[in-house]
Amino acid sequence: MPLVQKNSDMVKKDVIVIGAGASGLMCAAECGKRGRSVLVLDHAERMGSKILISGGGRCNFTNLNVTDQHYLSENPHFCKSALARFTPQDILSLVRKEGIPYYEKEAGQLFCVKSSRDILGMLRHECDRAGVEPLLACRVTEIQKTGAFLVATDQGTFQSVSLVIATGGLSYPGLGASGFGHGIARQFGLRVTEVKPALVPLVFSGRDQKVFRDLAGISLDSLVECGGNRFRGNILFTHRGVSGPAILQASLHWKPGVPILIDLLPEIDIPAAFNAKRQSTLEMRTLLSQFFPKRFIQTWCDLYVTSKPIVQYSDRELLLIANQLHAWMIRPSATEGYKSAEVTAGGVDTVELSSKTMESKNVPGLYFIGEVLDVTGHLGGYNLHWAWASGHAAGQYA
């Protein structure tokens, strides 16, 4: 894409988009298709850094099962309009037009066969065709609205009729993430809901961390419950606590002090297994090693079970062990924070915006899209799809 001349006289555009990520590039391309002149500003030296690392480098770019039920927000109905107008089939049509090979991994999750670079390349091509102009390594220093928007940067001041904030949340600060977008919202009088790391590993403290760090690398298929919400998938022990898809999902609902229940054997009727061996001299840890990695069950039994032959347990003792396996309670002390979080939960209060256009109700011409908003998706391509859907929505009006 051609770059805007640095240190030039004030450049006037119809639309300025701040943020060259998924939502920002989608919005910019859609604005350009309508004949709008568009400038995209980003402080980073390259576009789409989070796109490139998403999905382990293969970009889980959408999910075939997208519905509003896969999103959390203080205003849960807000996302419905944008999702209805830009569906998984819509992003798939762009992917197919670009000739990007993709595959379905599981539960509707769609990934690139080759690399996340293919998705970023697709967005760049869409912006090129729409005449979008990017200016990278450009730091915004001030924004004012005096009829039009004036955006002062370290590379000059720019003017626009519409201003789109697509700066993301606080996750991955190593890639330059910050609360810039939240600050702009507050500057213009919009409320920002409480923010926190989400889709993030959880951390133990004290004795629990010391005990379980030796299990780092062990993965177990489990059913995880937090705050009345259940998620099926793997949990993964780390040197500090637990991660894995089911734990990341549970982190959306976890708050300090809230326990998490884990069914370690969601497919097994362990009381029936005990009854089948009721008269056996087999040691408990030996029986349980049929269902778990040896290293895990040794640690678990040392904590919760006096291992002895099955025949020597009372019925009550066996029931207690079974309950512990099907409802193991853990109490994390914290999350790993924004440095490990996939996304930021919370953000610009969507009550302040039009669900049709993403425009501020009280500041004409000011739009917010993507992760900067208080809309957070489940794991599995839902957050990237929200970036596409919200960017597309704003792109029809900005």
Would you list the domain boundaries of the chain?
Answer: 11-196+344-395, 202-335
- In 166-304, DSSP assigns E strands to 196-198, 202-203, 219-226, 229-237, 241-243, 260-263
Query: Quick one: how far is CA 163 from the chain centroid?
Result: 25
What integer pLDDT is reported at residue 344 of this predicted model? 97
Backbone angles phi and psi of 328, in degrees to 5: -70, 120
Looking at residue 283, what DSSP letter applies?
B
Structure tokens at 184: 């702009």
What integer pLDDT is reported at residue 217 of this predicted model? 96
Structure tokens at 203: 């951390």
* Alpha-helix residue ranges (DSSP H) falling in 331-372: none
Place of tokens 């810039």: 180
What integer pLDDT is reported at residue 6 of this predicted model? 47
Q: Which residues, other chains included, contact 234 with Cβ-Cβ below 8 Å and sequence gap of 6+? A: 219, 220, 221, 222, 244, 245, 246
DSSP string, 265-318: -TT--HHHHHHHTTT---BHHHHHTTTS-HHHHHHHHHHH----BGGGS-HHHH
Place of tokens 């991994």: 105
| Contact between residue 206 and residue 361 where contact means Cβ atoms under 8 Å apart | no
Structure tokens at 131: 């005449």
What integer pLDDT is reported at residue 212 of this predicted model? 84
| Contact between residue 92 and residue 104 where contact means Cβ atoms under 8 Å apart | no
Rounded Cα distance between 342 and 201, Å, is 10
Cα distances from 394 to residues 32, 146, 291, 366, in angstroms, run: 12, 22, 51, 10
| Contact between residue 393 and residue 186 where contact means Cβ atoms under 8 Å apart | no
Tens-digit pLDDT profile for the chain (398 aa)? 544 444 456 899 999 999 999 999 999 999 999 999 999 999 999 999 999 999 999 999 999 999 999 999 999 999 999 999 999 999 999 999 999 999 999 889 999 999 999 999 999 999 999 999 999 999 999 999 999 999 999 999 999 999 999 999 999 888 888 999 999 999 999 999 999 999 999 999 888 888 888 899 999 999 999 999 999 999 999 999 999 999 999 999 999 989 999 999 999 999 999 999 999 999 999 999 999 999 999 999 998 888 899 999 999 999 999 999 999 999 999 999 999 999 999 999 999 999 999 999 999 999 999 999 999 999 999 999 999 999 999 999 99
Q: H or E element: which one contains 148?
A: strand 148-153
Which amino acid is residue 327, in one-letter code?
A
Neighbours of 333 (CB within 10 A): 15
Separate counts of helices (H) and strands (E) for the chain: 13, 21
Which amino acid is residue 316, in one-letter code?
R
Give the closest residue to 163 by CA, choosing from 150, 179, 182.
150
Give the closest residue to 359 by CA, choosing from 390, 320, 324, 325.
390
Place of tokens 């939240």: 182
**Domain 11-196+344-395: which CATH number of 2.30.40.10, 3.40.50.1100, 3.50.50.60, 3.40.190.10:** 3.50.50.60
Rounded Cα distance between 245 and 355, Å, is 30
Rounded Cα distance between 387 and 166, Å, is 9
Burial (CB count within 10 angstroms: exposed 0-12, middle 13-18, buried 19+), residue 39: buried
Query: Quick one: how far is CA 333 from the chain centroid?
Result: 21
**CATH class assigned to 202-335:** mainly beta
**89-114 burial code (b ≥16 CB/10 A, e <16):** eebbebbeeeebebeeeeeebbbbee
Q: Which residues lie across from 143 on neighbouring strands? A: 151
The sign of the CA dihedral 123, 129, 131, 133 is: positive
What integer pLDDT is reported at residue 213 of this predicted model? 87
Q: H or E element: which one contains 208?
A: helix 206-212
What integer pLDDT is reported at residue 5 of this predicted model? 43
